[in-house]
Amino acid sequence: MRKGFLDNYGFLMSMAGIYLTFPGNWIISMLHLGVGSLQLICYFYTIYLTNDMGNVIELLHSAVIVMTITGPAIINGLLQRKRLERIMRALGTGVYDYGVTLDDDSLKEIREFSIQTRARKNLFCRIFLAIVVANLFAIGLIKPIAMNLLTTIEYDDDFDGINKRVPVHCWYPLDSRVPLNNLLCFIFQYVIVVTIPLGVCGLDLIYLCMAEEIVIQLKIVGTSVKNIKKRAMKVMKLNGTNDINKAMSRCLGHSIDHHNALSSLFEDFRNYHFYILLSVMTGATLMLCLAGVIFTTDSVAPVFRLTYVVFINTELVHVLVFCWYGEQIKEMSIKIGDDMYDADWFSESGHIKIHMLMIIQKIVRPFKVTAGGFMDASMDTYANVLSSAYSYFNLVKAAREN
């Protein structure tokens, strides 16, 4: 399990408090949840106090992220620790071993697409990390610096407690006009500024790595059944026999066992993300809507809107990761049926044909990653999320104009 954890950015889950790996790691989880909960109280009280619509939208945007991504991701990881460990163990030790039943052509094909898929995984992970870090700098560094350099921050005599120097203007039970109190407010809000990207990376990157491994394993199953006759010929040669039906039954048995093991892994993967994906998809729709409103709100300074360009792009990629990989898993599970159809087993015994047809019938129901059972993680869902966000954006915009 350690190898699977280290090779698949598991340390980010640990730092986000999603998975506990070292003594005292629970403190990180409690810190993120505790500060996040207190920050939500401050957000909503600020919304009650302020008349600045731009600030209200920013506060709602930040609140949605905490409520639908970071908080649920931590709780989900802690509650499903055993399921997560089974997945990590499979990623580290491998899902299935075919022994000597794979022929040279199959081994070469598996080696080639495994290298390509893992290279794609590493590339996508680095790109996603770069996007999240850029977002962290934009919101946590560039925005407050620009805010303090380009605007004059003055507090009226009837100070309402809203700190206008932190990245997101927010009420705190401290007089931020006092330098020490202002520093404490900064520290408190920057815990959230760091928690959010950690939670997003801990959730998205692990999903990406798990999904890539499932895609590889589905390709291996497809290759094993497509080349079943070649594999049987190798087994016959190793055993020194001429019974091709027995050899094919042995090879087919390995493919079936692999698919069953993969089905169990996928069930853990699907169940682990069952509710968290529903939260992510719902939150993503609201976040994209609110980010769009921020970008078009007159009371938000133009220089601050530019920082939200990075934020919107991050959110688009965030949702795309879940939907695109869900689509890939579904397509690859269906493709196994095509690989079976293309296999050269038609001339063999009826016993083999019956087993092949049984497997094809099982694959009629493909692997599907679902968000709470309400929607599949697919590109159609991605399009629906964007469409819904745009509809909500128009609704909010019309309400503000009226």
Flag whether pLDDT at 270 surpasses 90. yes
Q: How far apart are CA 400 and CA 127, in angstroms?
A: 36
- Res. 325 pLDDT band, cuts 50 70 90: very high
String of DSSP letters for 228-241: HHHHHHHHHHHHT-
Q: How far apart are CA 252 and CA 233, in angstroms?
A: 13
> How far, rounded to the nearest angstrom, does the alpha carbon of residue 58 sit from its chain's CA centroid?
24
Flag whether pLDDT at 353 surpasses 90. no
Flag whether pLDDT at 376 surpasses 70. yes
pTM: predicted TM-score of the whole model, two decimal places: 0.87
pLDDT at position 327 is 93
Which of 154, 156, 137 shows the shortest CA–CA distance to 145?
137
Residues in the chain: 402
Pairing between β-strand 370-371 and β-strand 170-171 as defined by DSSP bridges:
unpaired
Burial of 220 (0-12, 13-18, 19+ CB in 10 A): buried
171 beta partners: 162
Flag whether pLDDT at 317 surpasses 80. yes
Flag whether pLDDT at 349 surpasses 60. no
**For residue range 166-194, what is the model confidence (pLDDT) as tens digits?**
888 888 888 877 888 888 888 888 888 88
Q: How far apart are CA 349 and CA 379, in angstroms?
A: 41
Q: Residue 77 is encoded by which pair of tokens? A: 């990881």
pLDDT at position 215 is 92
- Whole-Å CA distances, 363 to 136, 264, 358: 43, 14, 9
Flag whether pLDDT at 199 surpasses 80. yes
